[in-house]
A and B are shown apart, each in its own frame.
Chain A
Amino acid sequence: NAGVMQNPRHLVRRRGQEARLRCSPMKGHSHVYWYRQLPEEGLKFMVYLQKENIIDESGMPKERFSAEFPKEGPSILRIQQVVRGDSAAYFCASSPEQGSPTDTQYFGPGTRLTVL
């Protein structure tokens, strides 16, 4: 029973390149959340998706960042034209249902993005 999968675990990009981060939720989970953790800080919410729908992107930077969760395949967090300030750990979490505060979100191992 696989947990939340994220790949790659480590990603190095030069300034101006694109970064693509992938997340496969736990089996049976249809709700995906992306969080960002800057060095020495807690996690900050970025975006919440269900299959084929972005539900809440209030934590996403207005430019260069986008996310999707297609009907088939993993959720993708895409960062265009990366800058050094994008260096962080990006975590994906999944939960089976949205409706209750009791629903635990289970996290993937994270993708550590380093921008040179």
Chain B
Amino acid sequence: AQKITQTQPGMFVQEKEAVTLDCTYDTSDPSYGLFWYKQPSSGEMIFLIYQGSYDQQNATEGRYSLNFQKARKSANLVISASQLGDSAMYFCAMREAVASSNTGKLIFGQGTTLQVKP
């Protein structure tokens, strides 16, 4: 069964430093997508970055990059040059290819709370 694991309940980082948020996943499907979402204290879910299982290169979006290690089934989020506004909960999620038994729903990890210190 598909599963997402985020082992870091909370992380601290100094402003302007880089931070890595861990995510491992488990799936038997060769085709899947991995997503990271940010949930600030206001509660909305903000899409950050996507990585496809067949993508040859790691995804990047501005200060966000995804360290995708397929053999290890990990998809860590790297935030460079942290800002105070990065303080939030971060969720890793996986979506398998749509098949007769799967309708593309997202499976979420438990989340990591990131606090950026000034």
Contact = CB atoms under 8 A, between A and B. Distances in A.
Chains A and B belong together in one complex: yes
A28 interface: no
B98 A99 contact: yes
Contact of A112 (B43, B103, B106, B109): B43
Contacts, number: 77
A105 B33 CA distance: 11
B57 to A, nearest CB: 14
Contact of B104 (A43, A101, A107): A101
Contacts of B33: 100-103
Contacts of B32: 101
Interface centre among A43, A44, A95, A109 (most CB of B within 10 A): A43
A104 B35 contact: yes
Contacts of A102: 33, 50, 52
A100 B33 CA distance: 9
Contacts of A35: 106, 108
How many A residues are at the interface, by size bracket?
Answer: 20 to 34
Given A102-B33, A112-B43, A42 B98 contact: no
A69 interface: no
B43 A109 contact: yes
Interface in A37-52: 41-45, 48
A65 B38 CA distance: 28
B107 interface: yes
Contacts of B37: 107
Nearest to B97: A101
B8 to A, nearest CB: 13
Interface string B38-51: 00000111110010
9 contacts: A42-B91, A42-B111, A45-B105, A45-B106, A59-B105, A93-B45, A100-B98, A107-B37, A107-B44
List the 4 shortest-distance A-B pairs measured between CB atoms, nearest first.
Answer: A101-B33, A107-B45, A42-B108, A56-B103
Interface of A: 31, 33, 35, 41-45, 48, 55-56, 59, 89, 91, 93, 95, 98-110, 112
